[in-house]
Amino acid sequence: MLGPWLHDWRGPQGRRCSFWETRPMEEALATLLRPQYLDLLVSSPALPLPVGSCRPEPEPLERFGRRFPLAPGRCLEEYGAFYVGGSEASADLDLDPDLSRLLLGWAPGQPFFTCCPDTGRTQDEGVRAGRLRARRHYLVERARDARVVGLLAGTLGVARHREALAHLRNLAQAAGKRSYVLALGRPTPPKLANFPEVDVFVLLACPLGALAPQPSGGFFRPVLAPCELEAACNPAWPPSGLAPHLTHYADLLPGSPFHVPLPPPDSELWDTPAVSLITGELRPPPAWKPSDDPGCLALTLRPQLELAESSPAALFLSSRSWQGLEPRLGQTPVTGAVSGRRGIAIAYENEGSS
């Protein structure tokens, strides 16, 4: 079966190649490719190592939820990619989370090919990668326009998840947004539709547990990755096309080579004018204040000595036509309690039989 797979994807001698494959076919495909490519990488999923096992030396590079055994002095951006996976029954490969992570993060200047094991047909994924990057740019713009951000705690057992939540909340606060932490288990459209006040959601999960790109109409509000919120809220983040696509939230935290600290409050980066590419309106600069500033409170004083809650969720509720049951305190007479109907809705006891 391997011969037809390689017929349409022959590169020059000495070209660097990296590919992904299931374990049974991995060694057979690597044996066929090694005479053609002098520098060959075989990737494997970045699953947790067994307890008591020793880490390999040198330690492989972990990116996109996978491990790459890079040789010293090598860089992953120098390699082309060959992905073996999927099936003929899959309607849209854009919704494959594993392939989507690789297409978004792989170097745009390097070739990326896929092969379907059911048909043996190879395909250049340059067009699909460009479509996924365009959707990622759209999600970043949605996050920049958002006022309320919902942080979905998709994992509570992975290391540094509390630090990552604090980092994302600090990002939202620095950009002048209100954030709420939600623990809902695996996100589904019915669950997230219960929070219409939230403009965008950010899923905090391990790389292998992240959601695939959703089709249009899947979720009521878009679900972003942590790196997309970083690109939207951190003005010091590299511009589009130069910033890496990070699938693990730990890469955004201090100590990581990809960590970009927030600029100080008096930096000119916060005053850079920005125009929304969705609405066409000019975004106001965020009034960023340190968290220990006494003026950064949820309650503000009005001239009439009244306390008003400055909450985007409260403003959204006030704009709705139906806000729940009317309490009408002090407007109804006080009466004694009476016995109500008993039974189930289909047949109460006092209704008789029909």
Q: What pTM did the predictor assign?
A: 0.72
Q: What is the mean pLDDT of residues 96-123?
A: 82
Give residue 294's pLDDT.
47
The domain boundary residue, chosen from 112, 133, 154? 133
Same domain, 153 and 128: no
Domain boundary among 259, 283, 307: 283
Higher pLDDT, 309 or 57: 57
Task: Return the pLDDT at 44.
Answer: 78
Which comes out higher in pLDDT, residue 313 or 308? 313
Q: Is residue 105 part of a domain?
A: yes
Residues of the domain holding 248: 146-283
Domain end marker among 243, 262, 283: 283
Band of pLDDT at residue 188, cut at 50, 70 and 90: confident
**Residue 301 belongs to a domain:** no
What is the pLDDT at residue 150? 93
Give tens-digit pLDDT for 211-270: 655 555 578 899 998 999 999 999 889 887 777 788 888 888 998 888 899 888 888 888
CA distances from 195 to 150, 191, 201 (A): 9, 8, 10
Residue 111 resides in a domain: yes
Spatial contact of 22 and 98, defined as CB atoms under 8 Å apart: no
| Local structure of residue 197 (DSSP, 8 states) | T
pLDDT at 149 over 80: yes
Residue that the structure tokens 């709420």 belong to: 180
**Percent of the chain at pLDDT above 90?**
11
Q: How confident is the model at residue 166 (pLDDT cuts 50, 70, 90)?
A: very high
pLDDT band at residue 93 using 50, 70 and 90 as cut-offs? low
Secondary structure E strands in the chain: 16-20, 39-42, 44-45, 61-63, 66-68, 80-84, 112-115, 122-124, 148-153, 178-182, 200-204, 223-224, 274-275, 282-283, 299-301, 307-309, 343-344, 347-348
Lowest average pLDDT, out of 24-28, 272-276, 288-292, 349-353, goes to 288-292
Residues 92, 207, single domain; the answer is no
pLDDT at 11: 45
Q: For residues 120 and 84, what is the distance between their CA atoms, to the nearest angstrom?
A: 9
The CATH number for 221's domain is 3.40.50.11860
Cα–Cα distance, 254 to 275 (Å, whole number):
30
Q: What would the pLDDT profile of 25-47 be if each residue is shown by its tens digit? A: 677 777 887 888 878 888 877 77
Which of the two residues, 311 and 127, has the higher pLDDT score?
Answer: 127
Asked if 152 and 201 sit in the same domain, the reply is yes
Q: Is the pLDDT at 3 greater than 70, yes or no?
A: no
**pLDDT band at 290, cuts 50/70/90?**
very low
Q: Mean pLDDT, the chain, as a whole number?
A: 77
Q: What is the count of structural domains for the chain?
A: 2
Q: Are residues 99 and 188 in the same domain?
A: no
Q: Are residues 21 and 127 in the same domain?
A: yes
Residue in this structure with the two tokens 């395909």, named with its chain if needed: 123
Tokens of 41: 């990488």
pLDDT of 291: 46
Q: What is the pLDDT of residues 314-342, one digit of tens each?
A: 777 777 777 777 777 888 888 899 888 88
Is pLDDT at 124 greater than 80 in this prediction?
yes
Q: What is the pLDDT of residue 312?
A: 64
Q: Is residue 253 part of a domain?
A: yes
Instruction: Look at residue 284 and tell me whether its pLDDT is greater than 50.
Output: yes
Residue 91's nearest CA partner among 225, 219, 212 is 212
Question: What's the pLDDT score for residue 10?
Answer: 45
Mean pLDDT of 284-302: 54
Bigger pLDDT: 299 vs 311: 311
Query: ∠ at Cα 300 (320, 295), nearest 5°?
Result: 130
Strands 80-84 and 16-20, sheet pairing:
parallel
Indicate whether 188 and 249 sit together in one domain: yes
User: Looking at the structure, do residues 227 and 110 belong to the same domain, yes or no?
Assistant: no
Model confidence at 200: pLDDT above 90 = yes
- Looking at residue 193, its amino acid is A
Q: What is the pLDDT of residue 88?
A: 60
pLDDT digits (tens, 9 = 90+) for 50-85: 666 676 677 788 888 788 888 888 888 888 888 887
Q: Do residues 277 and 161 both lie within one domain?
A: yes
Amino acid identity at 113: F
- For position 9, what pLDDT does the model report? 45
